[in-house]
Amino acid sequence: MSLPKSLDVARPVELPTPEPDSPYHPRRPYRFSTLCATVENPEHKDQYGASSVPIYQTATFKGVGGEYDYSRSGNPTRTHLEHHLAKISSAAHAFAVSSGMAALDTILRLLKPADAIIAGDDLYGGTNRLLSYLQTHQGITVYHVDTTNPSTLSPLLLPTNNIAMVLLESPTNPLLKIVDLASIAKDVKEHCPDAIVVVDNTMMSPALQRPLEHGADIVYDSATKYLSGHHDLMAGVITCNRDDVAKKIAFNINATGNALTPFDCFLLLRGTKTLSLRLSQQSQTATLVANYLYSLGFPTFYPGLPDHPNRDIHERISLGYGAVLSFTTGDKDVSERIVAGTRLWAVSVSFGCVNSLISMPCVMSHASIPAATRAARGLPEDLIRLCVGIEDSTDLLDDLERALIDAGAVRRTPQGVERVRTTIGEAVAKLALENQGKSVKLQPHEKQWVVSSPGKVILFGEHAVVYGVPALAASVSLRCYAVATPHLGTSSRRVGVHFIDIDADDKEGGFRYEWDIDCLPWKTVPASSQAREVPLDLDFLEEISRVALPKVLGSHAPQASLAFLYLYMVFAAEFESIARPSFTLTVRATLPVGAGLGSSAAFSVCTTTALMLMTGRISPPSPSDSSPGRLSKSLADAVNVYAFLSEKILHGNPSGVDNSVAVYGGGLLYTKSIPSEGKEGGMVSIEGFTSHRFLLTDTRVPRNTKELVGSVGKQKVQEPERVGKVLNDIQGVVENARNVLSGSGPKESLAALINENHRLLDQLRVSHPSLEAVRRVTGAEPYNLATKLTGAGGGGCAVTLIPEGQCSPSSFILDVSFLVRIIASGNPFPMVFFLFMRKLMAISSTDFSSSNLTGLISALESEKFTSERFRTYLTEVGGLGLGILSQPATASDLPTPPLVGSDTLETTFANTSNAELRGWVEALGKWAYV
């Protein structure tokens, strides 16, 4: 065969133009599949005309001043790949790195300390882990918000928040939430023009979505997924159109050395050629699978379903629905059986492969996100994620159906396959089975939950804290307790409260009230937030007050009801209306209400914890956990966020100290932020905080905190030097007390510091004759004890340090029997140790005998300043924080109720005396504490 004369074989062959390129026959742009299959780079022609880009498997290049010198900085194979990726991504620049997380790390290196980043609340686990690390170690602030609602970003897009980056995913992984990339990018550019909008496009790939076309500044993909398509390499891709950003990214890649290797560049380039074909087949099959599950009644998450939230937005910014979907079964055990029962669907993390994969994100890809955080972000533990491959759709559906049947999730009927559902009636049947000795797994809203939280005492630094001097607060062993009892097997859809100690004088047995769940103002519930501080929605608060607040006498019960309803509705709004939990919350305390000992904060923590347990947002540790007797910090953090919100409802503008002590226990050092004076605020846990025994005396004299604080402020204006010196002296007392309480100072000096702190507070004129009466009694012979006011002063409580002592032999024998009892109850060792040491502290001692203590209590309780006598409470300071009954004893193991005829736990809890309540509650089973 002879060659055409016009073809010069001595020069490189150019691709022929298929048609004459003229005004009458313009050449049309290639379609995406053609772009994928055609690898061309006019500026880098292969010298031998290779049809496949060669692998330049070399670390260095010879010569000086050439285009390449070292493969970390540049390599011809990588250049071809990056040119190709930019072309199919509608980008001016593309970079290939060693993994998707390496791509994100490279991008996040554009941030500097004190910058802030806004990110979604449904993120890939690795992304969440890296952001948490930056927040903890690099001084970067991270705001997690629901990015599916663009309005949640608006309050954060302020110059004062220093927003430097907005990180988005759409669809999110694994709940397939849709984010309006174009709208958010536009808002960010309007309000924070210097902020960089970054999009993780891994779920869609350039084949289905190109975010740079919708206003994003940077897009990255884990090329391990769809771009490669075969799971035979690790790679990440970054694309952008801005030259300034590209320059910084190139510098970071070269400096850190995370560029993709030549061989992996070759593999990735080969994978991209079939991207369009693969994803087209995968998406078609994914649509069939999603419709199949949806038709059976499983809650299914897939953008292609007709009622998927924000489907219209997805169709506006994307070219298809993708090949990832997820669904829930309503039971984690069922989900585990389904995943284990498939054959074609391989159990594996990741997605985007030619083979179909199945996984449970909460135990695999998202396991690095703490369970409490997953619950708070609405990530179901029973969620199954399906990543569809290129197998025949009939085979995949058949394999999935067999696994569903074997797991008991669906069953065959004469009419076909139908889902096996769990109803309220079935839940009651489960309870009946339990009573017959059979173990059945219950859902969170079907369980009875028991929780507790400590009160708090300000030991040092009152009033001075207003002016930036640290205050030292600690937990007390006086606690608030709550029992949440589900309404199972009843037709009423009601939620109720029983506040035993609140407004108890107005009505015997405290305050009771119930609401019809369906009559609550659900349409006004604000969107759930995952920020470190959840804002209070005043409009929603007003609507609850108008529609649902009980019209009763007494100031405490309506406000407590308001806090309860606000949190209940925020947590339960995500449930289908028919599935919203129906229960009664019973709350009581061994600490006095309104005495400045953090009773409202303990109430807020107990209420928040019970509601989060009942709605499945948090869960206690299981017996198989490494520390079954300890609640995780992440769970405590999740509770503290909403407990602080409850405190806002109760008090308006709380400091956050009370709820933090009620959650974390131990001792905290709190400093108020005063920006005008350059003073940064915050709370620091006191490591090694040693527990001490105190006697609290409630004078029952009402206080006006606002008036007392205002009085000190007035003195500071009129006598700045005198008050300034007092405040400085108080700061010295706090610092010395911190050293003593952390174990690095002499314990003997604690009494002197208590007396000195009170003397200084007296100079600020915040003491009260009732408090001085307490000091007179405790400081007299034979007691000679140190006492100070606590809190705002002007009445309220005083704290008296009770010296440590030694046990008598007879007491030790008694406490060995106590030790045997608490070990037999199955408590973990830390709890056994704590209970035993607490018992030892209560024993009579040679330094301060039990007769002295009895005499002191009698003397104090005979005092009175108003018509009511003083009340005393013996307590340990600096003990455990939030507690959850994690493993209840069986009915036969429950302690004998103090009152005969109490047939339910709730009734017994309500009727037990204060003196016996603590011991009775602790013996209900195994507890887990912060």
Distance between CA 884 and CA 611 in Å, rounded? 12
Report the 10 Å Cβ neighbour count for 767. 20
Distance between CA 416 and CA 349 in Å, rounded? 32
| H or E element at residue 120 | strand 116-120
Residue 816's SS3 state is helix
Distance between CA 443 and CA 568 in Å, rounded? 17
Asked if 72 is an active-site residue, the reply is yes
Q: What is the dihedral of CA 410, 412, 418, 424, to 10 degrees?
A: -60
Long-range pairs for 131-140 at CB < 8 Å and ≥24 separation?
A: 131/167, 134/108, 138/111, 138/113, 139/113, 139/114, 140/108, 140/111, 140/113, 140/114, 140/115, 140/116
What b/e readout covers 19-33, taking b as 16+ CB neighbours within 10 angstroms?
Answer: eeeeeeeeeeeeebb
Contacts of 703 (CB under 8 A, 6+ apart): 596, 791, 792, 793, 794, 795, 796
The catalytic position among 56, 124, 292, 929 is 124
DSSP class of residue 690?
Answer: P
Helices and strands: H and E segment counts in the chain: 28, 27
Residue 688's SS3 state is coil
Tokens encoding 257:
């050395």
Distance between CA 757 and CA 377 in Å, rounded? 44
**Are the C-beta atoms of 545 and 551 separated by less than 8 Å?**
no
Residue type at 212?
A: L
The catalytic position among 200, 217, 221, 399 is 200
Angle at 316 between CA 310 and CA 321, to 5 degrees: 70
Contacts of 41 (CB under 8 A, 6+ apart): 79, 80, 83, 84
Judge residue 626's burial from the number of C-beta atoms within 10 Å of its C-beta, 0-12 exposed, 13-18 middle, 19 or more buried.
exposed
* Whole-Å CA distances, 37 to 224, 269, 545: 19, 10, 63
Asked if 664 is an active-site residue, the reply is no
Distance between CA 803 and CA 692 in Å, rounded? 8
What b/e readout covers 670-699, taking b as 16+ CB neighbours within 10 angstroms?
Answer: bbbeeeeeeeeeebeebeebebbbbbbbbb
End-to-end CA distance of the chain: 85
Report the 10 Å Cβ neighbour count for 565. 24
The catalytic position among 69, 72, 189, 406 is 72
Asked if 124 is an active-site residue, the reply is yes
Question: Which single residue is written with the structure tokens 């941030």?
Answer: 111
Judge residue 355's burial from the number of C-beta atoms within 10 Å of its C-beta, 0-12 exposed, 13-18 middle, 19 or more buried.
middle
Judge residue 244's burial from the number of C-beta atoms within 10 Å of its C-beta, 0-12 exposed, 13-18 middle, 19 or more buried.
exposed
Report the 10 Å Cβ neighbour count for 562. 19
Contacts of 348 (CB under 8 A, 6+ apart): 357, 358, 359
Asked if 200 is an active-site residue, the reply is yes
Residue type at 749?
A: S
Distance between CA 398 and CA 387 in Å, rounded? 16
Distance between CA 480 and CA 672 in Å, rounded? 27
The catalytic position among 87, 177, 210, 225 is 225
Q: Can you state the angle between helices 599-614 and 556-572, rounded to 10 degrees?
A: 30
Tokens encoding 626:
């490494």
Distance between CA 279 and CA 706 in Å, rounded? 65
**Annotated catalytic sites, by residue?**
72, 124, 200, 225
